[in-house]
């Protein structure tokens, strides 16, 4: 991953950039998502075998965009979530928007989503997470919104692909 592969609108030092790359590669060994460049924003591309995995990886990519060490969140709470959309694209945007709303309004970082029901228009899930602790998690950038710009969610072969752009 080159220095220009991730939008850098932050005040990170080069050392911090290298540390974030290590985190990215650690995530990438387990979770197949990657950061993509965008002129004014940043985004992620995800490949997954199933729809629940796609949404879980989108959540991990969302968190890794904001925090240097998203895995450092101390999971202490569960919250129910019910989300719907006209199609799978809108469903992904609505899901991530709910996650962003919890972060902005309650400082609640969603670490994991246990999907009780998921199809291309509806999600019923239990979100697990905890309060933001920037001392442990570090901060990279703020996501202001989940956009529809260049949004893709589609079946590809035996799996799923998504591209999501975040307004930062």
Write down the CATH number for the domain with range 3-167: 3.55.10.10
User: What gap in Å lies between CA 14 and CA 86, rounded to an integer?
Assistant: 42
More confident residue, 14 or 67: 67
Q: Tell me how far apart the terminal alpha carbons of the chain are, to the nearest angstrom.
A: 20
- Model pTM? 0.81
Q: Where are the alpha helices (DSSP H) in the chain?
A: 14-30, 51-66, 88-106, 134-137
pLDDT tens for 65-88 read 999 999 999 999 999 999 999 999
How many DSSP H helices and E strands does the chain contain?
A: 4, 8
User: What gap in Å lies between CA 84 and CA 73, rounded to an integer?
Assistant: 27
Least confident of 6-10, 12-16, 84-88: 12-16
User: What gap in Å lies between CA 70 and CA 130, rounded to an integer?
Assistant: 11
Res 32: pLDDT: 62
Identify the CA nearest to 109 among candidates 89, 86, 139. Answer: 139
């Amino acid at each position: 991953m080159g220095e220009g592969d991730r939008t850098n609108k932050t005040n990170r030092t080069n050392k911090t950039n290298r540390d974030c790359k290590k985190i990215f590669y650690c995530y990438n060994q387990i979770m197949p998502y990657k950061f993509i460049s965008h002129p004014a924003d940043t985004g992620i591309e995800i490949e997954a075998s199933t729809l629940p995995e796609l949404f879980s990886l989108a959540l991990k990519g969302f968190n890794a965009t904001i925090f240097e060490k998203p895995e450092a969140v101390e999971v202490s709470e569960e919250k129910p979530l019910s989300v719907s959309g006209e199609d799978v694209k809108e469903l992904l945007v609505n899901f991530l928007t709910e996650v962003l709303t919890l972060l902005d309004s309650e400082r609640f970082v969603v670490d994991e989503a246990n999907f009780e029901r998921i199809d291309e228009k509806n999600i019923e899930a239990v979100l697990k997470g905890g309060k933001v602790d920037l001392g442990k998690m570090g901060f990279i950038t703020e996501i202001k919104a989940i956009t529809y710009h260049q949004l893709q969610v589609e079946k590809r072969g035996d799996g799923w692909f998504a591209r999501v752009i975040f307004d930062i």
